[in-house]
Amino acid sequence: MPGEFELIARYFTRPTQRADVALGVGDDCALLEVPAGMQLAVSLDSLVAGVHFPRDTPPADIAAKAVAVNLSDLAAMGAEPAWMTLGLTLPAFDAEWLEDFARGLHEALDTFGVALVGGDTTHGPLTLSLQAHGFVPADQALRRSAARAGDLVYISGYPGEAGQGLALALGQAAAQGPGADKLLARLNRPTPRVDLGLALRGLAHAAIDVSDGLCQDLGHVLAASGLGAVLDVERLPLSAELLAEAGEARARELALSAGDDYELLFTAPPETAPALAALADRLDLPLTCIGRIRAEPGLELRLAGADYSLASAGYQHF
Amino acid sequence: MPGEFELIARYFTRPTQRADVALGVGDDCALLEVPAGMQLAVSLDSLVAGVHFPRDTPPADIAAKAVAVNLSDLAAMGAEPAWMTLGLTLPAFDAEWLEDFARGLHEALDTFGVALVGGDTTHGPLTLSLQAHGFVPADQALRRSAARAGDLVYISGYPGEAGQGLALALGQAAAQGPGADKLLARLNRPTPRVDLGLALRGLAHAAIDVSDGLCQDLGHVLAASGLGAVLDVERLPLSAELLAEAGEARARELALSAGDDYELLFTAPPETAPALAALADRLDLPLTCIGRIRAEPGLELRLAGADYSLASAGYQHF
């Protein structure tokens, strides 16, 4: 049975093309170079089998989603991804599992030009801890606290799709048509909005990625900014697939409260609307205005001129 | 029951005095500033309950040891510690446990002036994933691959003490006298050799911290450097406490093969001996020459003019 060091060497050590990696996997530390004028953006995500993903999830999917979730945090900050480290706790040595996991990991990293620069492989219950490192010019980061009264609230893509995907995966919902596969893919292989995050530098004020639910994550922005918001529920971009699978009422609920979409929620002043429209066109990604920031605290949801109440508040990891 | 965000806020969010932390815990990413001319040194360690520490270890000890283990990697690179992130997976919400853990964590971080800049708290089997970030001037890092033929091999402190501490903790050995407590403390509260690592810049060639056993860790240096070494077993610094608890033969075995000491093993050219003696005096830490690097591959152990064979090769995490 191979030791930890052989495991690491076999599955996770690869040469990198990045010139800013002076030393990668294999020493006590990685040695890295942050470009002049850039702040280092760092984010950590832990994923536990049976909590964040079903134990029988294909290993390549686990790896790809972990990378996406982690890079999504950089995107929400407007940071350019550069490096990642991986803490991997495994219940047993399983060459087939590791090969598939490593393939999914490297494919996901390669998609975004990210180098795996270090890690630790240990024995125990299946757990991943990924840490993404990226760069953002000083004072251009998209902080949660930077929303301003009068900003418009935007969401990228189609929120709620991953939520219905989860219901399908858990057997809580039955597939109604061919759109179900797309919703499952949105759950298992989310796309971190890295290009969008970079393009929002200088356009958006505040940003956050929707991991726990649109309303809950917007709540973090409002709390950090000391502001409130009103959302127009009828403006939520509900995809045809989500509507077909979940129906309109459930689709709205999922769009507002389900997690795992990893779309970007951001606030921007009204005068950026033309630039955002051009950006949506360039990225081929809907950027939909769903409300506005106001000084009055609290989050108000409006549908057809009346108050709208949310059945569930969003996902709590604990 | 409080949510993840309240947990994090309550136990892990504290203001930092470090001016290089532009944004700490509480946003999608931390924003950090690496000083000009410095490379960023990054190291990750995962610790699993029941594998790396007994499940009933006092939480403050778990935290303090995790910090020490992680900073030890920076020390072995000659890097100055700056920031840390923590991925914490907990089986349940236990306020008493968390308070004690947070106390041990913050005490350990404060000792070394390190800021906790981010993390993720999740639900699952007790696992810690810590990542230390530090600085080292470009080209001054103490790489494993930098040993040269003719270098002398040094070890700091008294190797083997934590190994006997582990035997005591596991009930595999009975305490023989008052020294047993010191050996247990060496296991539970190791001291990362941060000051030594910094002082070895420009003096030592290669360095590694002894986490898996002196011979095994020296083996990593030899493999990375493409060289061999001969060690004089009689020159091993065996503490009075270790000798009293384990006897000479077992003490030698532990010093060569037991892990968890987190002393620094380093190689340096013979002409640095006076500077190293002065350094040992300044740090009040023994730096003992135990052998030399040679071009001929392999690790030869010598005792009283004869070959010495090691019963066990070192700790394997897998």
Q: Calculate helix-pair angle for A179-188, A161-169, nearest 10 degrees.
A: 100
Instruction: Specify the amino acid at residue B315.
Output: Y
Would you call B121 and A318 a contact, using CB atoms and an 8 Å cutoff? yes
Domain ranges of chain A: 4-137, 144-307
- Using a CB–CB cutoff of 8 Å, tell me whether A8 touches chain B: no
* Pair B144, A98: CB distance under 8 Å: no
ipTM: 0.89
pLDDT at A24: 85
Q: Which two tokens stand for residue A128?
A: 């991943």
Q: Chain B residues with CB inside 8 Å of A32's CB?
A: 39-42
Written as tens digits, the pLDDT of chain B (318 aa) is 456 556 666 777 777 779 999 988 878 899 999 999 999 999 999 989 888 888 888 999 999 999 999 999 999 999 999 999 999 998 888 888 999 999 999 999 999 999 999 888 888 889 999 999 999 998 899 999 999 999 999 999 999 999 999 999 889 999 999 899 999 999 989 999 999 999 999 999 999 999 989 999 999 999 999 999 999 999 999 999 999 999 999 999 999 999 889 999 999 999 999 999 999 999 999 999 999 999 999 999 999 888 998 876 554 444
**How does residue A3 score in pLDDT terms, banded at 50, 70 and 90?**
low
Q: Which of A239, A236, A260, A44 is nearest to B127 (CA)?
A: A44
Give residue for tokens 């152990």: B301
Q: What is the dihedral of CA A108, A110, A111, A116, to 10 degrees?
A: 60
* Pair B278, B213: CB distance under 8 Å: no
**Residues paired with residue B115 on neighbouring β-strands, in sequence order:** B83
pLDDT at B78: 97
Minimal CA separation from A308 to chain B, in Å: 24
In Å, how far are B113, B133, B193, B207 from B202, measured between CA atoms?
23, 21, 16, 12
Q: What is the dihedral of CA B77, B86, A223, A193, to 10 degrees?
A: 70
pLDDT at A312: 64
Looking from the CA of B68 toward its CB, the CA atoms found within 13 Å total: 25
Question: Is residue A19 pLDDT above 50, yes or no?
Answer: yes
Domain B144-307: CATH class, spelled out: alpha beta
Q: Which two tokens stand for residue B306?
A: 């004869």
Distance from C-alpha of A216 to C-alpha of A227, rounded to nearest angstrom: 14
Longest CA–CA separation in chain B, Å: 66
Q: Chain A residues with CB inside 8 Å of B87's CB?
A: 44-46, 87, 129
Mean pLDDT of A47-64: 88
The torsion angles phi and psi of A247, rounded to 5 degrees, stand at: 80, 160
The torsion angles phi and psi of B140, rounded to 5 degrees, stand at: -110, 0
- Using a CB–CB cutoff of 8 Å, tell me whether B263 touches chain A: no
Q: Is B10 helix (H, G, I), strand (E, B) or coil?
A: helix
pLDDT at B7: 67
Same fold, A4-137 and A144-307: no
Q: Which residues of B120-156 are buried (b: 16+ CB within 10 A; e: fewer)?
A: bbbbbbbbbbbbbbbbbeeeebbbbbbbeeebbbbbb
Would you call A143 and B23 a contact, using CB atoms and an 8 Å cutoff? yes
Q: What is the pLDDT of residues A159-189, one digit of tens each?
A: 999 999 999 988 999 999 989 999 999 998 9
Would you call B31 and A44 a contact, using CB atoms and an 8 Å cutoff? no
Domain B4-137: CATH class, spelled out: alpha beta
In angstroms, what is the C-alpha Rg of chain A?
20
Residues 90-109 of chain A with CB under 8 A from chain B are 93
Minimal CA separation from B211 to chain A, in Å: 11
Instruction: Specify the amino acid at residue A271.
Output: E
The mean predicted confidence, pLDDT, of chain A is: 91
pLDDT at B10: 76
Contacts of A50-58 spanning 24+ positions with Cβ under 8 A: A50/B124, A51/A317, A51/B122, A51/B123, A51/B124, A52/B122, A54/A169, A55/A126, A57/A188, A58/A100, A58/A104
Question: Which has the higher per-residue pLDDT, A196 or B17?
Answer: A196
Is the Cα torsion angle A203, A207, A210, A216 positive or negative in sign? negative
